[in-house]
Amino acid sequence: MTDTADVITPEAQAFLSDLEREFGARRVDILARRAARLERLLAGELPDFLPETADVRAGDWRVAPTPDEIADRRVEITGPVDRKMVINALNSGAKVFMADFEDSNSPTWFNCIDGQRNLTDALGRTISLDTGEKRYTLGDNPAVLFVRPRGWHLEERHFEVNGAPMSASLFDFGLYFFRNHGRNGRYFYLPKLESHLEARLWNDVFVWAQERLGVPQGTIKATVLIETILGAFEMDEILYELRDHSAGLNAGRWDYIFSVIKKLGHRPEMVLPDRSDVTMAVPFMRSYCELLVKTCHRRGAFAMGGMAAFIPSRRDADVNAVALANVREDKEREASQGFDGTWVAHPDLVPTAYEAFDAVLGDRPNQIGRQRDDVTIGASDLLNIAATPGEATEDGLRNNVSVGIQYLAAWLRGSGAVAINNLMEDAATAEISRSQIWQWLHHGRFTAEDVLRITDEEMASLGEGYDEARAIFESIATRPDYVEFLTLPAYHQLVDVDRL
């Protein structure tokens, strides 16, 4: 069992327990609301802007100002909370490092606890690592540290309150903030929100934690990932709920595509082609991004772009040339749309991202002043999935099978950020891979026999060590019942707790 005495002190344990007692029931209610909303979607309802919050969308309000140290966020790097990653990311030259307890972290108890140690050491400027071959230390001008806790749907089964597992969101946030509020541990990313009520819960958590620890209200600043199709219809409302603690919104592309399948994939007009064809330039994705920028800038908030997941090759210059050209094009598009910054997954992409945003921003820290009054996006634009060009091909199916199994195998071994085919993949990749396979089966693009044949072929090429991952992935992707498919636990909850 992982030693936690230096991390979860009696004082920290009391704080976490009180946090769960205060907000755990509301989290359960949030999840019940999600389930009820899904039932309405399955019965034929379509997402739309909420009539009951029209006054919020029409109102003249702005989020509270943010600290000067995060006024310029033109390049942010993301990754898990292991020690080497934390040091390299903070030294990468990016403005911000988002340390991730969520999709790029396999949530073993060791990873979660050691990650907390690593972040405290980073904020204290004492972090180092000696591998025997190289010594890693923190540079003189590290990036600003943001932390992403796990989503509302997950639990931390190693920490119980009143005999039940604690919310993983509250555990990750609460332990980090309790340990580091005096070290500038104040910046967060919030994942997987589906409604403004979920943002309200986070805001109330922030208010409670700041009051409990004697921290001035508004100290915490959080950027919300708009990575669900439902959240896209409530961007104004999400900013409003967090207005005293807001650091803007982010366009989380892979999970956004997954959410389209999860919430609307039963509808034949919502069938998506190969995921390589679902770029940020297709109509529904472009509409989502432009609405995000317009909404954020109207409210004085940051609009942050999506991930460039490419990992440069040390051996193949031709692969690098093509991929870096695509990354440059992607970042130039984001900068031209009005985004204030963007994400990369590897330090070698930081210069390319800077070039794209420097060309637009110059000496300005951001482009919040660009209001995008030229943008008019309605519900039909956000739901225009049918206009996505491309087909569901056997190559796309093969890629989903192979990448999904490879990622899950690494995740089971404790690695949540995995290099596959020169891309840094995380849990969002596994989710979209298995959901696309299910959708294509459900709508007759492929048969179960096609999936099994391709899986056999891919397993033969992968070699040993993938049998357990195959069994889990296959059981998820091929479930015949849609409601059962949607209500399956996340990967985080499919494995025996003793393995984690």
List helix spans (H) across 151-213: 168-180, 196-213
CB 440 within 8 A of CB 392: yes
CB 289 within 8 A of CB 337: yes
Rounded Cα gap, residues 271 and 386, in angstroms = 7
148 noted as active-site residue: yes
Cα-based distances in Å from 154 to 101, 107, 151, 213, 491: 12, 10, 6, 25, 10
Q: Please name the residues in contact with 222: beta carbons below 8 A apart, sequence gap of 6 or more.
A: 187, 188, 189, 190, 202, 206, 242, 245, 246, 247
H or E, element range at 462? helix 448-462
CB 198 within 8 A of CB 190: no
Annotated catalytic residue: which of 82, 103, 274, 426? Answer: 426
For tokens 């989380």, the residue is: 252
125 noted as active-site residue: no
Annotated catalytic residue: which of 34, 148, 179, 479? Answer: 148
Rounded Cα gap, residues 492 and 96, in angstroms = 27
Q: What's the one-letter identity of residue 290? A: E
CB 169 within 8 A of CB 150: yes
Active site members:
148, 426
